[in-house]
Amino acid sequence: MAISQSLIESVVFELYKQASIEIPPDVMRALKKGYDIEDSLVAKGQFEAIMENINIAHNKQVGMCQDTGVPIIYADLGLKAQVEGDPYEAFTEAIKKATTAVPMRQNVINPLTKKNSGTNTGWGIPYVHWDTLPDKDYLDILAVTKGFGSEMRGSQCWVLSSEDVGRATVKAVLDVVADSMGEPCPPVIIGVGIGGFADSSMSIAKKALFRDPIGSRNPDPDVAALEAEIEKAVNELNLGPMGFGGKTYTLGVHAELSGSHTAVMPVSVIFQCWACRYAKARIYNDGRVEYITHPHLGGK
């Protein structure tokens, strides 16, 4: 058997619907943990407003944020999987349908003419990042609707390899956080890309935002130690939720490494706001679908 284009379209539609409306369980746990450790009434009030927002979205089945984002898809294709048809067309049609059905705000425009497609597609959108999985017979799809309040605060710097790159990375993140304050809608997840090229460094930082669960550590112990150090340092700035003060500015720091040039390397920093809207599913060759982040869809 093979994974059909129509099945991919159906699954991706459900992923974008759920990503827009229902916060993933790991995000909810991280938000509740942040609320529990706050002792500032202002900080707790911000968390309470966020929780109320999440509950209203769930009860009314509407998008949890007015900025329903721009669609990104991370697709990991097992080398033993078989796909019929055009996956990109399936992704595109699913997003068009979700734009109307959820509904999702019509965000995608031509950057020069400002023409709006009205479908959240066009001009290279959805952006799809493909990877392969040796010896697997399934297609993993991670659907993200990325808001731009947090996106616009992404930043990149270059570090000489003769410097202490770990120290430079901590400083880079703290500088970006201090400059951004409440604009990325904290509490945020912080993605960090160390090494690679200018584009790949930011790419691995962005994908790291959606590591599940929030706060899980990189398997490399050196990177994991750096993640913990950055998270502690950021929260000790006492900027808190929405930048109004408190103990929880970041819910988690996720860093990734890439081989880089012997002389100089990029360090990239990017934010994901508290409305961390992503959904993931796995489609097998035999047509089975496993909804990983939103298992209640299993019967669909």
Residue 173, domain member (yes or no): yes
298 pLDDT band, cuts 50/70/90, is low
Residue with tokens 């392969």: 132
- Specify if 50 maps to a domain: no
First CA to last CA distance, the chain: 20
Per the omega criterion (within 30 degrees of 0), is the bond before 187 cis?
A: yes
Answer whether 227's CB lies under 8 Å from 246's CB.
no
Mean pLDDT of 131-142: 97
Instruction: Say yes or no to pLDDT of 300 above 80.
Output: no
Q: Are residues 16 and 133 in the same domain?
A: yes
**Number of domains forming the structure of the chain:** 2
| Residue 281, φ and ψ in degrees, nearest 5 | -140, 160
> Is 142 in the same domain as 285?
yes
**Percentage of the chain lying above the pLDDT 90 cut:** 96
Domain interval for residue 75:
5-22+64-147+277-299
Same domain for 285 and 143?
yes
Considering the chain, what is the average pLDDT of its residues?
96
Residues 291 and 143 in one domain: yes
